[in-house]
Amino acid sequence: MGHSFELRLVDEYDMPLRHKLLKLNVLLAILAFGCQGEKPAAPVDKPASPTAPKAETKGSETDKTAGGKTAPAQPTAPGADYAEQFKLGAALIAKQDFDAAQQKIEGLDAAASKLTPEQVKQLADLKEKFEDERQLHEDKLREQQLTLAKKSISDGKLDDAATALEALLAAGPTTEQGDQARELQTKIETHRTIRRRLRSGMDLLASKDRGRAKEAQEILWEHQEVAFPLLLESLQSDDTVLVTNTLELLRKFNQPARTLPAMIAILGREKQAAIWPSAIKELQKVQQPGGGPPLLKLALESPTPERAAPLLNALAGITDPPPETLISLLPQIYQDTPALASALSAAYRAITINHQADVLTRRGLDSEVTPEQDKQLNGLGDRLQAIIAAGAKKPDMAEAAWAAERLAIAMRLMPPTALPGVKVLRATAESPEGPAVAVLDKVWNSVELKTMWRHPSKRLTTLVLDLGAERTVTGIRIWNCNEASGTHRGWKDLEIYVSSDSSPTVPVAVGVVPPAPGLPDTPDYGAVMQVPFAKGRFVKLQLMSVWRDDGIAGISELEVLGY
């Protein structure tokens, strides 16, 4: 009986207790879920499910809130592709998108406990690269502010410079950058003080009194750095006197990189047409390159020939006409317009400066010519001859005819002519029976001594000719000493000088003169010594050697070729 009672007692009390424990566990689970409000995160040491979703959508580099602001970095979810995250972070740093890169790094940092040791090191390297690149970027931005400030000071924009420096000093500059910024701030104040003093000089610069204008130029010359932007600004004026005096001073400052664009800009403004001659004059006095290409471009873009003419006139005297000038101006050369003479002169200048005398062989050209340009080049000789012929009949074509003849000679499309009015200025030696003036008596086919210039055969004997005005010399035609049985006394080696100075010191050409036949009434034996289009009023010939020295030397006749 006792035993059965014990069993019954256990059955009676034990079963309800298990039910109660089960109910308690369910209740605790419900309460836990209700208090947390979301599914509990998996334990840290529990492997993530293979099917767990990725932490972020592919293609999105930063998480954004509904208001468009960057949301705080969230830990990368279990199962995230960390290799892809590191790659994206590095790409953002390379693009200098530092805000997005920082978000990416913070996300990886929050998930550091899930990274392998190798990935932890990779994260540390990424952080270091981020800091280095951001520092370099910020330093570069500060340097750009310094550069901007310096340029603004140079351009006279002192307020802009001050603003740039204030931004720099507020951006945590390095010690060196801070020192430079403070030096520039001091410079700005100095420039402002000098500017106030220079205003009187700028007022004087507009004076028609040459003495007062010179005084103004001297005042401004003493403070070129501060005066330069003020002068550039004054070039916008319609005051012819002010702009003319300003152009002269700017050219003397010898800063072509800044001066040439300002001078050329005047030729682009219709309202300053009265100042164009002064601008062209000063442009052509600038000896440094830089003006040729923009002048040619403006001329080609001009809407009318009248508008192109002053630009082409400037190009005709500039120091660096582009090699493509002739090719570019062929359409203008083939039209009888008010710009024809100017186009021909500009083409001639380019031919001589760029040594393109044989351009018809297509040498000296930087690019291939089009079929139309090829056709025009082939017909250029006939076109120039037509312009020259028209000049003989129409007074308004005379200037174009002269320019066409000059271009034709330069391109060897026609032979140079003997210059008229040439006189003997002096000779270092001569004999009574053979004076120096005999070389200009137009007699070359005689054996009589009086028709020749005879002198001792001393080396460096010279003869100086006066052309009467500045000309372009292309050659010297020489008929050597035609003395019977004395042709060995003729000049052999000589040097040729052409200059605006009657005592030139640098030869422009050398030559060898062939001996004469030593007989009267012979075929023309004159020989041309080529000269590379040298300009000047005076021509000097200097003896270097004779064919055989017996103490006497001479020349029968001379002609100076050119235009």
The predicted structure's pLDDT at residue 429: 95
pLDDT at position 364, please? Answer: 64
- Count structural domains, the chain: 3
Domain range for 402: 289-414
Does residue 230 share a domain with residue 86? yes
Specify whether 430 is located in the same domain as 473: yes
Model pLDDT for residues 455-506, shown as the tens digit of each residue: 999 999 999 999 999 988 999 999 999 999 999 999 999 999 999 998 888 9
Spatial separation of the C-alpha atoms in residues 357 and 324, rounded to whole Å: 13
Do 307 and 209 have their domain in common? no
Closest CA to 228 of 145, 150, 153: 153
CA–CA gap between residue 175 and residue 156 (Å, rounded): 27
Whether residue 65 is contained in a domain is answered as: no
* Whether residue 228 sits in one domain with residue 95: yes
Domain co-membership, 306 together with 343: yes
208 domain-assigned: yes
Among 545, 541, 536, 544, which residue's Cα sits nearest to residue 557?
A: 541
Residues 73, 108 contacting (CB under 8 angstroms): no
Q: Which two tokens stand for residue 481?
A: 């000493």
Between 446 and 21, the more confident residue is 446
CA distances from 407 to 79, 379, 383 (A): 82, 14, 11
**H or E element: which one contains 492?**
strand 491-499
pLDDT number for residue 544: 97
Q: Is the pLDDT of residue 34 over 60?
A: no
- Which of 414, 439, 474 is a domain's end point? 414
Q: Are residue 397 and residue 465 in the same domain, yes or no?
A: no
Least confident interval from 62-71, 143-152, 258-267, 393-402: 62-71
How much of the chain exceeds pLDDT 90, in percent? 49
7 or 155, greater pLDDT: 155
pLDDT at 9: 35
- Look up tokens 């760029």; give the residue: 354
Band (pLDDT 50/70/90 cuts) for residue 81 is: confident
> pLDDT (tens digit, 9 = 90+) per residue, 378-389?
999 999 999 999
**Amino acid identity, residue 141?**
L
| 399 and 480 share one domain | no
Q: Rounded distance, CA 197 to CA 12, Å?
A: 116
Q: Same domain for 97 and 206?
A: yes
Q: How confident is the model over 17-36, as a mean pLDDT?
A: 43
Distance set, CA 272 to CA 87, 93, 282, 505, 524 (Å): 61, 53, 15, 43, 57
Q: Which residue would you say has higher pLDDT here, 493 or 149? A: 493
CA angle 80, 86, 90 (to 5 degrees): 150
CA 412 to chain centre: 32
Q: From residue 76, give the alpha-carbon distance in Å to each of 51, 107, 171.
A: 16, 6, 33
Q: Which residue has the tokens 């030593």?
A: 518
Q: Is residue 19 predicted with pLDDT exceeding 90? A: no
Q: Which residues pair with 536 in a beta bridge?
A: 471
pLDDT at 557: 97
- Whether residue 316 contacts residue 283, with contact meaning beta carbons closer than 8 Å, is answered with no
CB 306 within 8 A of CB 334: no
Please tell me whether residue 51 adopts helix, strand or coil conformation. coil
User: Is residue 549 domain-resident?
Assistant: yes
Q: Is 174 contained in some domain?
A: yes
Residues 101 and 207 placed together within one structural domain of the fold: yes
pLDDT, tens digit, 9 for 90 and up, residues 413-464 = 888 889 999 999 999 999 999 999 999 999 999 999 999 999 999 999 999 9
Handedness of CA 235, 240, 246, 250 (dihedral sign): positive
Q: Are 397 and 378 in a shared domain? A: yes
Residues 306 and 216 reside in one and the same domain = no
Of 414, 435, 464, which closes a domain?
A: 414
* Co-location of 93 and 227 in the same domain: yes
Burial-class residue 128 by CB neighbours within 10 Å (0-12, 13-18, 19+).
exposed
Residue 198's pLDDT band (cuts 50, 70, 90): confident
Question: What is the average pLDDT across 397-423?
Answer: 91
In angstroms, the CA 309 to CA 339 distance is: 5
Ramachandran region, residue 313 (left: φ > 0; alpha: ψ -120 to 50; beta: rest): alpha
Q: Which residue has the tokens 């693009």?
A: 95
* pLDDT classification of 55: cutoffs 50, 70, 90: very low
What DSSP element (H or E) covers 220? helix 210-221
Sign of CA dihedral 101, 102, 103, 109: positive
Specify the length of the chain in residues. 563
- Residue located via tokens 């001009």: 302
Instruction: Quote the Cα angle for 107-111-117, to 5°.
Output: 120
**Alpha carbon distances (Å) from 205 to 134, 187, 223, 238:** 51, 25, 15, 14
pLDDT average, residue stretch 382-402: 93
Residues 332, 483: Cα–Cα separation, whole Å = 53
Instruction: Write the DSSP symbol of residue 41.
Output: P
Residue 245 domain flag: no
Kindly list the distances between the CA atom of residue 327 and the CA atoms of 348, 372, 376, 384, 410, in Å, as whole numbers in the listed order.
12, 10, 9, 15, 15
Average pLDDT over residues 533-538: 90
- Dihedral of CA 236/242/247/250: which sign? negative
Q: Of 414, 432, 456, which marks where a domain is finished?
A: 414
446 within a domain of the structure (yes/no)? yes
Give 64's pLDDT tier (boundaries 50, 70, 90): very low
Decide: 103 and 117 in contact? Cβ < 8 Å: no
CA dihedral 376, 379, 384, 389 (to 10 degrees): -130
Q: Does this model's pTM top 0.75?
A: no
Q: What is the pLDDT of residue 290?
A: 93
pLDDT confidence bin for 45, thresholds 50/70/90: very low
In a domain, 166, yes or no: yes
pLDDT range class, residue 63, cuts 50, 70, 90: very low
pLDDT at residue 499, rounded to an integer = 94
- Measured from the Cβ of residue 277, the count of other Cβ atoms closer than 10 Å reads 14
pLDDT at 171 over 90: no
Query: pLDDT at residue 120 above 70?
Result: yes
The model's confidence at residue 1, banded by pLDDT at 50, 70 and 90, is very low
Reported as half-sphere exposure (CB side, CA atoms, 13 A), residue 453 has a value of: 26
Structure tokens at 271: 């309202």
* CATH code of residue 545: 2.60.120.260
Residue 47 has pLDDT above 70, yes or no: no
> Is it the case that residue 397 has pLDDT exceeding 60?
yes
3-state helix/strand/coil string of 371-406? HHHHHHHHCHHHHHHHHHHHHHHCHHHHHHHHHHHH
Tokens, residue 558:
């001379």
**Confidence check: pLDDT of 14 > 50:** no
Q: Can you tell me the mean pLDDT for 22-46?
A: 42
pLDDT of 520 strictly over 50: yes
- 370 within some domain: yes
Residue 40: pLDDT above 60?
no
